[in-house]
Amino acid sequence: MIAYAARRAGLGAIQVAAVAALAFALVELLPGDAAVALAGDRPDPAVIERIRERMSLDEPAPARLADWIGGLATGDLGTSLVSGRPVSAIIADALQPTLILAGVTLVLLLPMSIGLGVAAARRRGRWPDRLITTTSVGLYAVPEFALAVLLVSVFAIGLDWLPPTAVGAGSLLDEPLVLVLPVLVLLARPICSIARLVRAGMIEALDAEYTAHARRAGVPERTVVWAHALPNALAPAAAQIARTADWLLGGVIVVESVFVVPGLGTALVDAVNARDLPVVQGIAVVFGVTTVLVNLAADLVAFRLAPRLEVAS
């Protein structure tokens, strides 16, 4: 287990470095001149030149990349060109709403998707299985923005039960009702995909020889399902759960935009529109680091649930 974790951590460090270099390169390829965009309409050439010096745009790209990587190593993500604030502070402010949405969604997602998958597998071919499977397929096909607009139209505008946006809510934790509609939208597709994976894994596990042996030994069916079959069924679903967590932590731009949630996705869009390159690069690195860490955690959980995976690694 320790050797496997060390190998994956080493690979993760290489991936983070590659993401940092890629983020810098992609921002460099953005069309237009950042100095001209920041100088405003009809700028003075002298103003443009001063901005270019402040952004170090007059230096070669390799030198700027080396300086930026050096700053990352010390935790310095740079300073916003628009607001003058540290990029780390901007990311910290935007990260809180995204973490709240992601955390609440994951807390609800895991028990609900696992429970639905187990229920469908234990009643395969019968009406509960068909209902869960059909509903999952249909719900997964609905685009997020369409579901968000539908929920706002019905529950916020039509019935006036819930607030339509997070505007004026202050902290999302202070007004929990603000979370209901965006969390429902965020739950819709992941719960379908994870439930289907758990169902498939549970069917295979319940038909396996080790569960049959447990039944012959007199082990209660409840124990066979939850203690023997479920851990092995969850191992294949761990990767999808990791992708879902990464998707949530990265900031779901559509959901944050519809419900006016000032999270990471919204901050990234605003920074791109304003040509605030340090903020764009900083958020890109945060996305890369969270992706690596979440997938590392998923691999370790999957290995823990099914240690035979180490042979394949």
Average pLDDT by consecutive 10-residue portion of the chain (313 residues)? 74 79 74 63 70 69 75 78 84 86 89 91 87 84 85 88 72 76 89 89 88 88 87 79 77 78 84 81 83 77 59 41
Residue 184 structure tokens: 């429902």
In a domain, 33, yes or no: no
In a domain, 266, yes or no: yes
User: How confident is the model at residue 271, as a pLDDT?
Assistant: 84
In a domain, 285, yes or no: no
Number of separate domains in the chain: 1
User: How confident is the model at residue 311, as a pLDDT?
Assistant: 40
Domain hosting 271: range is 94-275
Q: Which amino acid is at 114?
A: I
User: How confident is the model at residue 112, as a pLDDT?
Assistant: 92
The CATH number that applies at residue 152 is 1.10.3720.10
In a domain, 310, yes or no: no
In a domain, 69, yes or no: no
